[in-house]
Amino acid sequence: MKKNITKIIAILVMFSIVSPASAQFGKGVQYMPKDSSFTMKFNFRMQSLYMATYDDASEETSSNFLVRRSRLKFGGYAFNPNVQYKAEIGLSNRDISVNKEDGNGRGASRMILDAVVKWKFSKNWSLWVGQTKLAGNRERVISSANLQFVDRSLLNSKLNIDRDAGIQLRGKYKAGDAVIKPSVAISMGEGRNITEGNFGGYDYTAHIDFLPMGEFKSKGDYIGAAIKREDDPKLAIGLTFDYNDGAVRQGGQLGSFVQDSLGNYAENSLTTFFADMMFKYQGISVMSAYGMKSADKQIDGLSKNFNTGSAFNFQVGYMFDNNWEIAGRFTTLRTDDDRYSALSDQNQYTFGLSRYVVGHNLKFQTDITRIIAPGADDGQWMFRMQTEMQF
């Protein structure tokens, strides 16, 4: 695999040298042949993370320094600007580590994050085919390069519907200043890079975004922090409903594969609901979300339980004129059943400080989080510091 990655990087370097290309920091290397038959934009990004935790009860401290993310991204159009594509490859261990219970060719890496073709077949509608993010909670759809904190919240990590392979239909309508963006999807339901036949049934997703005050600058409704200062107040409201028929993973698209006492995959249909919002004005940014995941059945004797429960996340930040930002976040997670859910009750309080040198393309972020169960005296402290670079 290392040899393949080296070949990919070498080819890209040679391609950029011998081809008529343009480049700008943060916007990648862009290429278009003379006949304009296609375009390609290539980006590389990496995150280096230091994390330390302290446990009140044991008084023990642990720490780690790692490459959190390292990725190659490609995008553009083919033959016609209405036929676009996106591909993203993960290089870090966190991106390609193998799920030991993946059931789809054990030992295979999971390098491919996105591989999707987008066909805009009418003024208001596009058809997406391939593997990419589902239109789920806003925090998940925001790129990990564009987050307000070092990483996403507990709501996202426990309840999100993530990436999947299938088809999506996405629309966009304007009514005066307001913008409405509906979408629906049918996908496999087991997440990314599944190679064996479908388990259970399919996954069905419906989502709508409503922007009553018009569109944000530079698609800021899906970018953390007030990188582009809005001259007028802007609001985005999102609603998502997802039904994963016969899910066999703890979270549907994520988590360990669940087995019964005989070693067979245990199917359990999961229903997920999200309601979220983004508000920005001048240097102020506010994002909030509620999420809930429930299972059709309560099954005894499983290897793992399903991620069922609810969560609420609220975060607010202020961007100063010198591109320093302070931000705070509160997240609460609640299980819906102590016996049958893999989740446990937890509250998290986070304070963050960020310096945006070239927006999200070159930034330094740090945050500190208090993690504690409701009513408990002891908990944990977590400190994180991260750099992000993308060209």
Structural domains for the chain: 2-390 (2.40.160.10)
User: In 3-state terms, what secondary structure has residue 31?
Assistant: strand
CA-to-CA dists, residue 194 to 98, 189, 388, angstroms: 11, 10, 29
pLDDT for 18 equals 45
CB 331 within 8 A of CB 148: no
Whether residue 241 is predicted with pLDDT greater than 80 in this model: the reply is yes
The sign of the dihedral angle between the CA atoms of 71, 76, 78, 83 is positive
Whether residue 5 is predicted with pLDDT greater than 60 in this model: the reply is no
pLDDT for 93 equals 86
Residue 153: both structure tokens together: 């919240």
Distance CA 165, CA 140 (A): 16
User: In 3-state terms, what secondary structure has residue 377?
Assistant: coil
Whether residue 26 is predicted with pLDDT greater than 90 in this model: the reply is no
CB 158 within 8 A of CB 182: no
Residues forming a β-bridge with 119: 83, 127
* Tens digits of residue pLDDT in 318-348: 999 999 999 999 999 999 999 999 999 999 9
Kindly state the percentage of the chain with pLDDT values over 70. 91
Residue 260: both structure tokens together: 């019964």
Q: Phi/psi zone of residue 283: left (φ > 0), alpha (ψ -120 to 50 degrees), beta? A: alpha
Distance CA 375, CA 299 (A): 29
CA angle 173, 123, 128 (to 5 degrees): 90
Residue 34: both structure tokens together: 């003379």
Stretch 131-154: mean pLDDT: 97
Average model confidence (pLDDT) across the chain: 92
* Tens digits of residue pLDDT in 305-317: 999 999 999 999 9
Q: How many residues does the chain have?
A: 391
Distance CA 216, CA 301 (A): 49
pLDDT for 112 equals 93
pLDDT for 95 equals 84
Check: pTM over 0.95? Answer yes or no: no
